[in-house]
């Protein structure tokens, strides 16, 4: 996953919270407004409205000013041929979109994003689950292990990227030396210098960096599985493996699906790690949608084209998210914060 | 890694009860744990160790143990004029970002958690949908808006405000259930005693929401500290750059100074690691609270 992923960075390590909270629908039976409220000369309803406005306004201003407005501007820019300075007068309609969608580099970038999405889930899900199940057993040093597993996630993408770039170097790279020592041939240009290997190398680094988040999230989910269930199953003679398959994993479902969602959103916008490791090269073999739009917007000043690419990225992220929510998160969200308003009502 | 195949073997050797077999499987668990630790910390330790070497030593034997230990790489960076300036900018931007996020985020989460009004859920959905707005989508317009229109290029605020805006969804989503979980009786008692809702917020809710505040604060701080894309665009002047930009610049400018680059990255990761280790339980608990179904 990337960047703020959740963050953000990628990703951010943020989690939407599937807690059946009171907030999801149940009425807070507040006491009848004290008679005092009337004395202030405002109607209670109006006063409540003003209070709500007072609390929500700062966040809304920041959010609209620096998230919604720029995204709106991106949509506007995407219909102009514009260099980023001077008047924006050259309206070209959908021409930028035609260019972006027809560009072979962008198509390749989109494919790379899809590869990263799929590979992240296919690699990190089984590994993360296996590690979480192992670390969930009562072994010595468990807390230390949890900390260690999470370390790569805390490092800045730039720091992790630069260290790995050094290790992946063609001549002095640590990995090359190790591979050659064992007798495995390595590409002439080094792993990130060879178009056939570069995306795989980026994927390895992303896995290293984000596996810890999966493990920590899964462990958090496992801590919510009641111990009694395991004990009961053990008394009934279930093996450790049967317990994991029959009890633990099904109960972990919501956490896994939530992680999948975060991972997907992060993979769609991956930029930092790729930019540090390869700049999208060699020969565009690791370009992603984000590096594509950065190249056009910042290096070539083609704001219109870059904005069209960012709108495409946004639409794709939205389609993925809605599809995921519709088919995979559907049951988890019932009665939680993320459910569509009105659906999460308690009986 | 072939953990899954190993896992299958382990399962086969496992007995139903905790008997002699569990000792063997425990050994297996420790073996896996050792591999995980090696793979996870390997690159980090390699970077730190290589920072103590010389370039000739490193190029002669990249995978070997250092022949000579030297502090020169580290002291050069620490006595250079740039490193501390970068670190200071990173700190200030992270602090401003965190302050904005925590203050506005908690204020917004309060009515969303404890008031009844018609627009509550739609309003909440606005923040939740914010999760789907990648920074990459907004980055070009933000650059134009902040650098050209507002003239905030190369300022701390210019970077902190958009970063805070993108951290708000997470904050509101984490804080809302947290605030909603505080007992109703507190609120009733306060109102009966004549406190207004705003008074209740200041005097009772804020002091009680410390743990939640720390969780969202840490997430915002670390996110800002590690951020790359936005600062890369908004901070052009070298005196205003943050540490990640400094690391990236150094590694391209002195590409041949391998050990210097390793020393630089090692120094750059210390603050985030220390910060994280000091508060890791808070972070993990916050995540746990958020994930528990």
Count CB pairs under 8 A between chains A and B: 391
pLDDT for B213: 87
Q: Which residue of B has its CA nearest to A270?
A: B136
Residues of A in contact with B287 (CB under 8 A): 13, 15, 216-217, 220
- Look at A343 and B168; give whichever has higher pLDDT: B168
Q: For residue B22, give how far its alpha carbon lies from the nearest alpha carbon of chain A (Å).
A: 10
Cβ–Cβ gap B165/A172 under 8 Å: no
A65-79: pLDDT as tens digits: 999 999 999 999 999
Residues of B in contact with A65 (CB under 8 A): 161, 165
User: Phi and psi dihedrals of A8, rounded to 5?
Assistant: -145, 120
pLDDT for A347: 33
Check if A315 contacts B (Cβ < 8 Å): no
Q: How confident is the model at residue A345 (pLDDT cuts 50, 70, 90)?
A: very low
Residue showing tokens 């209670």: A44
Nearest CB among A36, A63, A154 relative to B276 is that of A154
SS (H, E, C) chain A: CCEECCCEEEECCCCCCCCCCCCCCCCCCCCCCCCHHHHCCCCHHHHHHHHHHHHHHHHHHHHHHHHHHHHHHHHHHCCECCCCCCCCCCECCCHHHHHHHHCHHHHHHHHHHHHHHHHHHHHHHHHHHHHHHHHCCCCCCHHHHHHHHHHHHHCCHHHHHHHHHHHCCCCCCHHHHHHHHHCCCCCCCCHHHCCCCHHHHHHHHHHHHHHHHHHHHHHHHHCCCCHHHHHHHHHCCCCHHHHHHHHHHHHHHHHHHHHHHHHHHHHHCCCHHHHHHCCCCCCCCCCCHHHHHHHHHHHCCCHHHHHHHHHHHHHHHHHHHHHHHHHCCCCCCCCCCCCCCCCCCCC
Check if A35 contacts B (Cβ < 8 Å): no
Q: How confident is the model at residue B3 (pLDDT cuts 50, 70, 90)?
A: very low
Cβ–Cβ gap A66/B166 under 8 Å: yes
User: Global pTM?
Assistant: 0.83
Nearest CB among B25, B36, B144 relative to A149 is that of B36
Q: How far is it, in rounded angstroms, from Cα A65 to Cα A70?
A: 7
Cβ–Cβ gap A15/B288 under 8 Å: no
DSSP summary character for residue A9? E
Q: How confident is the model at residue B22 (pLDDT cuts 50, 70, 90)?
A: low
Q: How far is it, in rounded angstroms, from Cα A2 to Cα B38?
A: 23
Query: Which residues does B69 contact at the CB level (< 8 Å), separation at least 6?
Result: B52, B53
Q: Which of B23, B124, B133, B141 to mutate to test the interface with A (most CBs of A within 10 A)?
A: B141
Q: Average pLDDT, stretch A162-175?
A: 89
Check if A250 contacts B (Cβ < 8 Å): no
- The rounded mean pLDDT for chain A is 82
Cβ–Cβ gap B228/A272 under 8 Å: yes
- Look at A37 and A129; give whichever has higher pLDDT: A129
Judge whether residue B113 has pLDDT over 70.
Answer: yes
Q: Which of A159, A248, A307, A321 to mutate to test the interface with B (most CBs of B within 10 A)?
A: A159
- Look at A326 and A63; give whichever has higher pLDDT: A63
Cβ–Cβ gap B127/A63 under 8 Å: yes
A288-301: pLDDT as tens digits: 999 999 999 999 99
Q: How far is it, in rounded angstroms, from Cα B250 to Cα B239?
A: 14
A126-165: pLDDT as tens digits: 999 999 988 887 778 888 888 898 899 989 999 999 999 9
pLDDT for A332: 63
Check if A327 contacts B (Cβ < 8 Å): no
Least confident of A10-24, A104-118, A167-181, A252-266: A10-24
Check if A157 contacts B (Cβ < 8 Å): yes
Q: For residue B75, give how far its alpha carbon lies from the nearest alpha carbon of chain A (Å).
A: 19
pLDDT for A18: 43
- Quote the tokens at residue B163: 């970063």
User: Phi and psi dihedrals of A120, rounded to 5?
Assistant: -55, -45
Residues of B in contact with A221 (CB under 8 A): 291-293
Nearest CB among A15, A28, A272 relative to B290 is that of A15
- Look at A188 and B40; give whichever has higher pLDDT: B40
Cβ–Cβ gap B169/A14 under 8 Å: yes
Percent of chain B with pLDDT over 90: 48
Q: Average pLDDT, stretch A87-106?
A: 93
Q: Average pLDDT, stretch B177-193?
A: 86
């Amino acid at each position: 996953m990337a960047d703020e992923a959740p963050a953000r960075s990628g990703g951010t390590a943020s989690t939407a919270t599937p807690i059946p909270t009171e907030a999801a629908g149940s009425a807070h039976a507040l006491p009848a407004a004290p008679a005092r409220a009337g004395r202030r000369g405002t109607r209670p309803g109006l006063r409540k409205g003003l209070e709500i406005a007072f609390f929500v306004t700062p966040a809304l201003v920041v959010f609209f000013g620096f998230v919604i407005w720029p995204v709106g501007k991106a949509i506007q820019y995407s219909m102009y041929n514009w260099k980023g300075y001077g008047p924006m007068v050259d309206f070209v309609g959908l021409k930028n979109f035609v260019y972006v969608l027809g560009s072979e580099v962008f198509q390749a970038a989109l494919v790379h994003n899809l590869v990263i999405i799929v590979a992240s889930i296919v690699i990190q899900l089984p590994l993360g689950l296996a590690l979480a199940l192992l670390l969930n057993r009562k072994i010595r040093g468990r807390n230390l292990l949890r900390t260690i597993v999470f370390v790569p996630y805390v490092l800045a993408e730039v720091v992790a990227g630069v260290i790995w770039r050094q290790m992946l170097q063609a001549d002095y790279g640590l990995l090359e030396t190790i591979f050659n020592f064992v007798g495995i041939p390595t590409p002439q240009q080094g792993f990130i210098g060879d178009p056939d290997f570069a995306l795989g190398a980026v994927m390895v680094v992303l896995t290293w960096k984000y596996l810890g988040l999966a493990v920590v999230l899964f462990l958090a989910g496992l801590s919510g599985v009641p111990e009694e269930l395991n004990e009961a199953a053990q008394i009934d003679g279930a093996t450790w493996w049967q317990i994991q398959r029959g009890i633990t994993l099904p109960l972990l479902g919501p956490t896994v699906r939530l992680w999948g969602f975060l991972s997907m959103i992060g993979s769609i916008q991956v930029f930092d790690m790729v930019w540090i490791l390869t700049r999208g090269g060699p020969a565009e073999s690791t370009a992603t949608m984000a590096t594509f739009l950065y190249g056009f917007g910042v290096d070539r000043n083609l704001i219109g084209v870059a904005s069209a690419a960012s709108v495409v990225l946004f639409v794709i992220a939205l389609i993925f998210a809605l599809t995921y929510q519709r088919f995979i998160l559907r049951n988890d969200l019932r009665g939680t914060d993320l459910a569509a308003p009105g659906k999460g009502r308690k009986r | 890694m072939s953990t899954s195949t190993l896992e299958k073997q382990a399962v086969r050797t496992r007995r139903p009860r905790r008997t002699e077999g569990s000792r063997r499987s425990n050994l297996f668990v420790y073996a896996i744990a050792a591999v995980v630790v090696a793979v996870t910390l390997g690159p980090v330790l390699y970077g730190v160790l290589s920072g103590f070497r010389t370039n000739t030593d490193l190029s002669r034997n990249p995978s070997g143990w250092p022949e000579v230990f030297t502090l020169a790489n580290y002291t050069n960076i620490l006595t250079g004029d740039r490193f501390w300036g970068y670190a200071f900018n990173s700190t200030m931007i992270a602090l401003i970002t965190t302050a904005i996020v925590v203050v506005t985020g908690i204020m917004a989460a309060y009515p969303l958690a404890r008031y009844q009004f018609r627009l509550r859920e739609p309003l909440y959905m606005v923040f939740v949908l914010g999760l789907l707005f990648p920074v990459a989508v907004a980055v070009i317009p933000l650059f134009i808006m902040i650098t050209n229109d507002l003239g905030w290029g190369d300022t701390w605020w210019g970077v902190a405000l958009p970063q805070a805006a993108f951290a708000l969804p997470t904050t509101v989503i984490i804080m809302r259930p947290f605030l909603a979980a505080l007992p109703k009786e507190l609120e009733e008692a306060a109102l009966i005693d004549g406190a207004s809702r705003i008074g209740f917020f200041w005097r009772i809710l804020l002091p009680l929401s410390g743990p939640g505040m720390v969780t969202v604060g840490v997430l915002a701080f670390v996110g800002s500290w590690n951020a790359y894309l936005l600062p890369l665009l908004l901070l052009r002047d070298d005196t205003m750059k943050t540490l990640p930009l400094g690391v990236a610049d150094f590694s391209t400018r002195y590409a041949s100074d391998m050990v210097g680059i390793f020393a630089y990255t090692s120094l750059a990761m210390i603050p985030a690691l220390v910060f994280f280790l000091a508060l890791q339980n808070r972070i993990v608990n916050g995540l746990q609270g958020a994930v528990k179904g």
